[in-house]
Structure formats: structure tokens, C-alpha cells
Homo-oligomer: A and B are copies of this chain.
């Protein structure tokens, strides 16, 4: 009952706050239930019970389990994009900005992001989430952000110039997605070093040290 809502909290909240809280609790509970039991086994009644609301109330928020899962996934994608943007903004040096983005994307791909609830990439979705419009849109934004970062680093002599930045960004996203199957932080850190080598970006001193890129 991790996601059960304490009643006093609701009484004190404004209506908008309350709705947001319930909305989030529904998404978290659904993601967890689907990860544990699979999409086919999860019902609206179960979700309502775990969240601590009535079935009728649940249906005021979402028409079915799939819709909840799509909303949950959209929230994940948005939060990942935001995290990447913030990572890029943190560093002033073009090379360090690129290193930070590569490290952050590897961590997000590995699936132990701090904001993670619920189904992993291997979960048996009946919903083709990867084809959803919000995912396509977010992918384009991530690619554009990374291509820009690479282009700026290349101009500053911190990335290779013999391959167009959009192509390097495309390579990078595919290569870093492989972080998902890596079992240890050390392996993920080595992947970051390998990808940075490919980009012609000197790895930072701490990039090869195990555990530094951990969650």
C-alpha cells in the first residue's frame, strides 16, 4: 500500500493539488502493478484498491489501464528530457557539457533513474508505447539537444569534425541505449568512455572509475 493516500492530506489540499496527487498515485500504482503482474492481469478495481479510491472515482481520471500506462510513460519521457536538458545546462565547458549528457543518458537508459517506478523496458506491454506520438516527439527533442551539444563541442575542438553532428547524435543514442542490459555501474561507466572515444571527446578523469555515475 505504498501509494495509498492518507485522508488528512487530502482534506488539507486544494482541489487542484488533490487531483494532481491522485493522478500521480494512480500512475505509480498502475506502473508497479503492471511490472509485477503483467498488463493483462491488472484491473481497474485492483488499481482503485491500491490507490485507496473508489472505482467510480478512478474512471473519472482514466478510461482504462492502457490509458494510465501511456500517461505514466509520457510522464517518464518528459522527466527524462528535462533531466537531460538540466544536465546540459549545468556545465559551461562544451566538452564537459557533452560528457555530462552522455553520462546522464546512459544512466537514464540503464533504468535505475531516481524517478523510476514500475515496468522496465523488458516488461511485456500490450501497449506499443514506443510508437506513441509523445515518445517520437521526445526522441526528436533528445536527438536535437544532443546534436547541438556535439556541434558546439566540435567547434571547440572537443569532438570530432569528420562526421556530421546529427549522425554522431544518432549513433550515440543507439550505443547508449545498450546501457539497459548492463548489470553493473562499472560496465555502464566503461560504455560512457567507449562512446566518448567514438565522439572524439576526451573522457574526464573520473569517467573510468567504477560507481561514479551511479544513481
Hey, which bits of chain A sit against chain B, CB under 8 A?
160, 162-164, 167-168, 170-171, 173-175, 177-178, 181-182, 187, 190-191, 193-195, 197-200, 208
A159 CB to closest chain B CB (Å) equals 11
A191-B167 contact, Cβ under 8 Å, with A162-B208, A197-B197:
yes
A43 CB to closest chain B CB (Å) equals 24
Chain B residue at smallest Cβ distance from A168: B194
Q: Chain B residues near A167: list those with CB within 8 A.
A: 182, 187, 190-191, 194
A164 CB to closest chain B CB (Å) equals 8
User: What is the CA–CA distance of A187 and B167 in the complex, to the nearest angstrom?
Assistant: 8
Given contacts A163-B190, A167-B187, A194-B198, 16 further A-B contacts (CB under 8 A): A160-B197, A162-B190, A162-B193, A167-B182, A167-B191, A170-B178, A171-B175, A171-B178, A171-B191, A171-B195, A175-B175, A175-B198, A195-B198, A197-B197, A197-B198, A197-B200
User: What is the CA–CA distance of A51 and B172 in the complex, to the nearest angstrom?
Assistant: 43
Q: Chain B residues near A175: list those with CB within 8 A.
A: 171, 174-175, 178, 198
Q: Chain B residues near A177: list those with CB within 8 A.
A: 174
Q: Chain B residues near A194: list those with CB within 8 A.
A: 160, 163, 167-168, 171, 198-199
User: What is the CA–CA distance of A173 and B208 in the complex, to the nearest angstrom?
Assistant: 22
A105 CB to closest chain B CB (Å) equals 13
Chain B residue at smallest Cβ distance from A180: B174
